[in-house]
Structure 1
């Protein structure tokens, strides 16, 4: 039996499960909101063109209005100034879009402190227990933040000091970008940076280092708790927007069950 035929059989039998990691796109989908004078991305919106009426008697269809970085989305290297000469989203390598993934779980720590930051020492301890990060694969950071995705206010968790959401320290961001073997970093939050990362050195360190190393970000993920610590394969399907800095993305994972 060929490898692909075996995969189809495994999918049909349930030996391999497809897990959807994607936040549904709708007008209430939380987005990143920057303070003035910075421009903000659009919320997702449908504009009806026809619905079985005189505008189109036999069909229903819409225009969609959204930003590249709305909902579950892929950040391309050219999204940040440090990667301005890097690939756009249409140039994402197939080996990045279909790749092995591991999950580091810090839900307990984030439940105690929404500003929790992942450090290099946490990843080193994880590797000591679970083995090395996957060469050319994805590091997915589970924080439990998907539980707050119902509203903009809960997801951003902001007060007068700004948003309070988990992320990675500046040094950890540099290490993931420059020293780790992964090609991408995925999170459950609205962006790959912590809510307070505007005050880091450098500001928004995850974007700064990750994009500068021609690596990729994946945000607003769900269902990471259904993935094994290691062994899943992630399939990322952005729109191939020529010149685009990112794209809303359907993200899936293949999980093998013994």
Structure 2
């Protein structure tokens, strides 16, 4: 039996489970809000073209309006100034969209402190317990924040001082991007950076370092609690938008059971 036939058989008999890490995409999907004078993305919306009626008697379809970085989405290197000369989303090689993934769970710390930041020592402690970060793989950073994704205000968790969501320190972001074999970072929050990252040095370090290193980001993931600490295979499927800085994506994990 070929490798692909074995995979299909394993999916059919349940020994490989496909876990959907993608948040449903609708007009209620939370979106990032930047303060003035910065421009903001539009939310997702549907505009009906026809629905089994005089406009089209046998078919239903819609126009969609959305930003590239709405809902569960993929950040290409060109999204950030540090990666401006690197790949747009259509140029990402297909082989880089299928990769091993590990899960680092900081949901307990984030529940106690919404501004919790992952530090290098946290990752090194994880490696001591679970082994090295995967070559050409993803670090999926679980904070439990997907439980808030049904409500814009709770998800962004902002007050007069700005948003309060967990993330990664600037020092750790640089180390992960430049000194580990990771291909990308996946998170449950609205972006790969912490809510307070506008005040870090550099601002938004996960974007700055990962995209500047030609690596990738995935945001607004769900169901990371259903994945093993290591051993899953991640499939990220953004639209190949020519010139695009990113795209809404369907993100799946293959997990052996």
Q: TM-score, normalising length from structure 1?
A: 0.99
Are 1:31 and 1:71, in contact at CA under 8 Å, matched by a contact in 2? yes
Task: Name the SS for the 2:194 alignment partner.
Answer: coil
Structure 1 position 165, deviation (Å): 0.1
Matched with 2:239 is 239
Structure 1 position 22, deviation (Å): 0.2
Matched with 1:190 is 190
Structure 1 position 95, deviation (Å): 2.7
Matched with 2:137 is 137
Task: Name the SS for the 2:12 alignment partner.
Answer: helix
Structure 1 position 93, deviation (Å): 2.1
Are 1:77 and 1:86, in contact at CA under 8 Å, matched by a contact in 2? yes
Structure 1 position 94, deviation (Å): 2.1
Pair 1:103 & 2:103 matched = yes
RMSD: 0.5
Matched with 1:149 is 149
Pair 1:35 & 2:54 matched = no
Task: Structure 2 unaligned segments of length 5 or more: list them.
Answer: none
Structure 1 position 91, deviation (Å): 1.2
Are 1:96 and 1:184, in contact at CA under 8 Å, matched by a contact in 2? no
Are 1:95 and 1:136, in contact at CA under 8 Å, matched by a contact in 2? no
Deviations along 1:121-170, whole A, 9 cap, x unmatched?
11111111111111001000000000000111000000000000000000
Matched with 2:225 is 225
Q: TM-score, normalising length from structure 2?
A: 0.99
Matched with 1:207 is 207
Deviations along 1:166-191, whole A, 9 cap, x unmatched?
00000011011100100000000000
Task: Name the SS for the 1:63 alignment partner.
Answer: strand
